[in-house]
Structures are given as structure tokens and as C-alpha cells.
Amino acid sequence: MTWDDLASTALVGTDRRPYRGDLLAAAAVETARRRAGRGPVEAAPPAPAPAEDLPAVGRRAAGRLVRIMGGDYDRLLPEWLAAAAATGRRVPCDVLPDLLERGRRDRSIRAHLGVLAGRRGRWLAGLNPAWGYLLEEPTGETWELGGPADRRAHLRALRAADPDAARELLEST
């Protein structure tokens, strides 16, 4: 019996289309036969992570971050991230996957992750679609050099401080 016959029988049910034997076992055998005939998928290795241009936070600060993410004073994470982003540093690479995963679940901490994740964080976000949100977060770059998220953040801040200057900047581009 072919795969199409097995699938058709499974869809309409064995009451309408009687099947001798074990339908699930036959489907398992057919699945194994189909997979055995396929060659391995050739995948090119990803490009290496780019070098970081920002220094990492200090050892003590990194230790505090690890403890906070481990459950000690968990509610302090947004405050720690805001303070660290203000220093212009990035988080250590070893905590980055856990932090990106937490950002996937908790939108409230994403505001500073664009800066704190550094180049490696954006590289990881390009490899894992679940972390793709990071590519839309501001990185702290200027209007001229930044991406769309950086421009939106800059324009938002300028609009709050000087709406006329914000309008002129927007009109000039």
C-alpha cells in the first residue's frame, strides 16, 4: 500500500475503508522507508560571530546578573539592565543566550537588550528566529549610523525634547 493510500485510509477511517493489519505500524514502516531514501541535508556552517566593539560589564556586575537571572531578586532584572545599558557596556557572552530567551518571553526587558547584547547578540538573533525581536531593538547608534530601531528611538527622544527639531530632521530625510 502506498503512502497516499495509508493517509487516505487514516483520514476517512477504517470503518469506511477497511484495512487489514495495523495501520499505524504500516505508516511507521512507510515513513522509515521514505526517510531512508533521502540523502543528508547539506548545510553551510554559519559565519563566525563578529568581534565585539563594546567592553563587557565588570566581573562583579556579571556575577550579579547571573544571580538575578538565577532567581535571586528576579524583579531587579529590568533595573540592572537599565543601569548596565547606561554604562555603554555589553553583557558577557556566556549569559547572552539565557538573557535573549528571557527577552523572548518578557517584553519589558527588551528596551535595553539591543545595546547590551552587542554584535554577538544580533548575530545569535539572526540564527534563531525566536530571538529575531532583538533585530528590531535600538542599538544605541546615532541617527546617521543606526538602523530603523535606532532612528525611531532617536526621533522619539528628540520629539519629546524639541518637537520642531524632530520635525525638521524627519523632513530633511
Backbone phi, psi, residue 76, to 5°: -85, -5
Residues 93 and 28 in one domain: no
- The two most distant CA atoms of the chain are separated, in Å, by 79
d(CA 52, CA 123): 11
**Domain total for the chain?**
2
pLDDT mean values, one per 10 residues, the chain (173 residues): 82 84 88 77 85 91 93 89 90 93 90 88 92 83 70 81 85 80
Q: Does residue 28 sit in the same domain as residue 68?
A: no
129 and 71 within one domain: yes
170 belongs to a structural domain: no
Q: What is the DSSP string of 121-172?
A: HHHHHHH-GGGGGGGGS--S--TTT--HHHHHHHHHHHHHH-HHHHHHHHHH
Q: Give phi and psi for 128, each to the nearest 5.
A: -120, 110
Residue 50 lies in a domain: no
Q: For residue 128, what pLDDT is reported? A: 92
Tell me, yes or no, if the pTM score tops 0.75. no
Specify the pLDDT at position 84. 93
Q: What angle do CA 79, 73, 56 make, to 5 degrees?
A: 50
Q: Which domain holds residue 75?
A: 59-137
The answer to whether residue 44 is domain-embedded is no
Looking at residue 125, what is its pLDDT?
A: 92
Give the containing element (helix H, strand E) for 95.
none
- Residues 86 and 152: their CA atoms lie apart, in Å, by 18
